[in-house]
Structure 1
Amino acid sequence: MTPVFLTCALVGNFSTRQQNENLPITPEELATQALEAAKAGAAIVHVHVRDPATELPSMDVALYREVVDRIRQENDDLIINLTTGNGGRFDPSPVNPVVPGPKTNLLPPDARVGHILELIPDIATLDLNTMVFGGEVVINTLPSIRRMADLIQSVGVRPEIELFDSGDISILNQLMTENTFDQPPLCSIVTGVKHGFVPLPETLIYARNLLPRSALWTGFGTGAKAFPMVAQSAMLGGHVRIGMEDAVWLRKGEKASSNAAWSGKQHAYLKTWAIP
């Protein structure tokens, strides 16, 4: 059997310490939990950073640098995947929808990948979605996607294509006809985000079957569907992802004590299912 790679998603943009006090926030906490997750079986860590003072999402290159440096000082084999998702959100003002509201963080594509060009991780995410996300809209236009893909690959980093609905896969297939990617695409099928792919086995089969034949793919879910979708992805031939970005509860009534707790649980189940 082809080995299954486990990605640990450490922290995203939305979970808070009010939900789980064990959520990693500082660069030291993120790096420590990444290294612990690796020891528990994770091959890849997916990294967002937070402002330690406010605990809000950040794009500060210095924060990313500290996380990456701390990981690489201890473990040079762990694959580092940095997000480029921040910078695509538009919050229309209720008075005039053309005027950006306070949650808008739209940035030009070059600014969204600045930390990638400086730090050169192994992988960088590339979102293809334009969709309603919470009370805002995430916008990723084709010119912006193409530019980010070119910049990411110009420094030898491999894009991971984030797919939230079938329209995103249509964009991916168009980009494939344009020879946008230097290597077979790494794809993440994201389920459980409201107004996107519904976290069901049928959804994952449908999405998988739309992908380019050369694609390497991971399927995952969020919240209560995080663990069930890991099982579905593994059984359908995909790789797997889990972590405190996707779910802060390890099981009903028990908060995850760390990202290593998720990685260890998932690694043990993969072994139980005889998946290498």
Structure 2
Amino acid sequence: MADKKIITCAITGGTHTPTMSPYLPVTPDAIVEQAVGAAEAGAAILHLHARDPKTQMPTGDLEIWLDILRRIRDRTDAVLNMTTGGSTYMSIEDRLGAPLTASPELCSCNMGSMNFGSFMMKDKYKGKWVNDWEEDYLEASRGAIFRNTFADIETIMTRLGEGGTRFEFECYDVGHLYNLAHMLDRGFVKLPMFVQIIVGTLGGIGPGPENLMFMKETADRLFGKDYRWSVLAGGRHQMNMATMAATMGGNVRVGLEDSLYAGRGKMAESNAEQVEMIRGVLEGLTMEIATPDEARAILGLKGREAVAF
């Protein structure tokens, strides 16, 4: 079972805006439908952000979150993974409010503060915005820092860990792996760890085989065999980096949070389409796909009956 591949699907995120794709889910209803579709296509883990149904902006609103979580849980047995990142512009209190109430099986945890640039995307859509807020939202990332200090990370791990929530440790650069090793040494991290290596985000390590291999080799030096790992890559690098990770023994993450496309110049019409694509690649390589319950066992999760939503 440990050799089976866990597919994570990141449904919407806090970076892409409605103008960028008509298929990006930007309301609770759309998030629920696409999450269920991704699970049916083979995703064992659904990585979730919430969006306000009126503004279509990322939100930490508790009632919106609980509505999304409960409706997905009623229709699928996938592991529901709540972001603690939210968006660059949320305070840590806003980011943690819903996860602390919901006490999910899994939450993301960014392993450091960083520049997180999405401002370069706005030039492609000049004058064509669906919502008035989008251009300013993207431009603001030029001068913003995504904050996750050591104190923030300690707070996330301690407060959510009290309820048995485990973590997808998001590492955007090699220094984040060392931050994670530091937290492991201090006893904040419980094994087995689930490390998400991220390449191709402006502000983090770039895409490419050499960078992925360097990140994996560094993780091996720091953690030995005491971790599971996965890869997500931004934009056009999504599928090739995921495929490379799988051949190296890792797991994979896809989804419209990370890339809006399903091949060169072709927009993905759903999250399920990307899940089906990577599943086809993995199965073509004679790899087996983990079910949600197998993913739970591999990652040591507390189980869907132990959540608070």
Same fold, judged at TM 0.5 (above): yes
Structure-1-length-normalised TM-score: 0.89
- Alignment counterpart, residue 103 of structure 2, candidates 111, 120, 123: 120
2:47 corresponds in structure 1 to: 46
Identity %: 29
The alpha carbon displacement at 1:273 in A equals: 1.1
3-state SS of paired residue (2:246)? helix
- Superposed CA offset, 1:97-116 (max 9, x none): xxxxxxx43334xx432211
Q: How many angstroms apart in 2 are the aligned matches of 1:132 and 1:86?
A: 15
CA drift of 1:217 comes to: 0.7
Q: 1:2-31 deviations in whole A, cap 9, x for unaligned?
A: 001000110011212322101112212111
**Residue of structure 2 equivalent to 1:14:** 15
Corresponding residue for residue 264 of structure 1: 276
- Aligned partners of 1:170, 1:227: CA distance in 2, in Å? 27
* Amino acid across the alignment from 1:74: R
Aligned residue pairs total 258
SS of the residue 1:219 aligns to: strand
- Correspondence list, 1:147-158, <5 A: 147-158=155-166
- Asked whether the 8 Å contact 1:50–1:58 carries over to 2, the reply is yes
Work out whether 1:255 is the aligned partner of 2:257: no
TM-score normalised by the chain length of structure 2: 0.80
Task: Please give the alpha-carbon distance, in whole angstroms, between the structure 1 residues aligned to 2:38 and 2:114.
Answer: 31
Please name the residue that 2:168 is paired with: 160
Between the aligned partners of 1:129 and 1:141, the Cα distance in structure 2 is 6
4+ residue runs over 2 A deviation: 104-108
Contact 2:60 2:97 in 1 (8 A): no
Matched, 1:86 2:86: yes
SS of residue paired to 2:192: coil
Counterpart CA distance in 2 for 1:191 and 1:198 is 5
Separation in structure 1 between the aligned mates of residue 59 and residue 276 of structure 2, nearest angstrom? 28
- Specify which structure has the higher proportion of helix: 2
> What is the rounded CA distance, in whole Å, between the counterparts of 1:144 and 1:123 in structure 2?
17
Shift of 1:164: 0.6
Q: Which runs of 5+ in 2 are unaligned?
A: 118-141, 289-309
Aligned to 1:198, the other structure's residue is in SS state: coil
Conserved? CA contact 1:113–1:151, under 8 Å: no
Provide the secondary structure at the position in 2 that maps to 1:125.
Answer: strand
The equivalent of 2:91 in structure 1 is 106
* 8 A contact 1:153–1:182 mirrored in 2: no
Counterpart for residue 62 of structure 1: 63
Partner SS for 1:264 = helix
- Is the 1:224–1:247 contact (alpha carbons within 8 Å) kept by the matching residues of 2? yes
Deviation of 1:210 (Å)? 1.8
Residue of 171, 177, 180 corresponding to 1:172: 180
The alpha carbon displacement at 1:253 in A equals 2.8
2:65 & 2:285 partners in 1: Cα distance?
Answer: 35
In structure 1, what is the equivalent of residue 232 of structure 2?
220
- TM-aligned CA deviation for residue 81 of structure 1: 0.4
**1:274, distance to aligned residue in structure 2 (A):** 1.0
